[in-house]
Amino acid sequence: MVFETSPFKIFAGSQGQVIAQRICEKIGCKLGKINIDRFSDGEFAVSFDESVRGQSVYLVQSTCPNCDNLMELLLMIDAAKRASAYKVIAVIPYFGFARQDRKDKPRVSIGSKLVANMLQVAGADRIITVDLHADQIQGFFDIPVDHLFGTNVLVPYVANLNLDLDNVIIASPDVGGSKRADKFVKKLHTLTGIEVPMVICYKNRPGFNRISEMRVLGDVQGKDVVIVDDIVDTAGTLCMAAKVIRDAGAKSVRAILSHGVMSGKADEKIMASELQEVVFTDSIQYDQSRCSKVKVVSLAEPLAETILAIQEHRSISEVNVG
């Protein structure tokens, strides 16, 4: 079904083009036209090529790499408000700065709170995002936040793998991710009826992107292990966890993640690692030709269903069961 006239429009920033087009295909609408003009000094300007007056405007943009794409999103929100949009909804599949959610040492900023303030000051009326690094970030906003779960597309992927689920173990790459892994286990049980056990990798991290030691807590001998996490950035933790798990006797190791940041030499590390495959969503645009072990699954369907639920004043929880 194609909407001839619609009470809402969807636009995409530079980091949201691919997933926004997929969302529009699911809904049956056209992606709106927007101009992003860049100047030689690095500054850029945003303008809409069509009217948004009186309409709900959905702006799809992940903020990774963080700074330019965040600024682009802020300008998009501001432009929509100044063009008399009825509501401006920021659809942020990957919410950058989410790892800076607290003061974990003296004299540091809380980046995710600052970004929340910036989005609200720019004029956002609502936020749709996926798998925040920390659930409490929702409380940094004074506007509605629809927090979707990547498990809605990642768990079915695992369930449909050519694996004996009775021989599968879910692993968390660190103690902090155990709650996330436990949710994955419960979702998998709901979908398949099979209760899969869980193990945890303990790591000592002396600084950013540095790990001094890691060991697996639990028995993985002869098992097909699925590491579950929210983000793969430099892939250092992931590859080390895979090696530790394989050294502990696992039959195979693969990783299932929400967001593929894939910075630095992540592709090379994964190719040289014990990982059989790495699967993440299209929350961040990724060229799969970069690494043959990577597979990407789309969030387009749950995001499209959420947009329609908002427009039809239906409960978001009906389409977002974590």
Q: At what angle do helices 66-82 and 111-122 cross, to 10 degrees?
A: 20
Q: Which residues are the active-site residues?
A: 203
How many Å apart are CA 17 and CA 246, to the nearest integer?
38
How many Å apart are CA 287 and CA 42, to the nearest integer?
24
- Residues linked to residue 207 through DSSP beta bridges, in sequence order: 210
b/e per residue 34-66 (b: at least 16 CB within 10 A): beeeeeeeeeeebebeeebeebbbbbbbbbbeb
Joined together, the tokens standing for residue 210 give 């540095």
Among 19, 118, 122, CA closest to 61: 19
- Written in H, E and C, the secondary structure of 266-287 is HHHHHHCCCCCCEEEECCCCCC
Query: For 84-88, which contacts have Cβ atoms below 8 Å and span 24 or more sequence positions?
Result: 84/52, 84/53, 84/54, 85/52, 85/53, 85/54, 85/55, 85/56, 85/57, 86/54, 86/55, 86/56, 86/57, 87/56, 87/57, 87/125, 87/126, 88/56, 88/57, 88/59, 88/123, 88/124, 88/125, 88/126
Joined together, the tokens standing for residue 29 give 């609408």
Distance of CA 208 to the CA centre of its chain: 20
How many Å apart are CA 292 and CA 272, to the nearest integer?
11
Q: At what angle do helices 178-192 and 151-159 cross, to 10 degrees?
A: 60
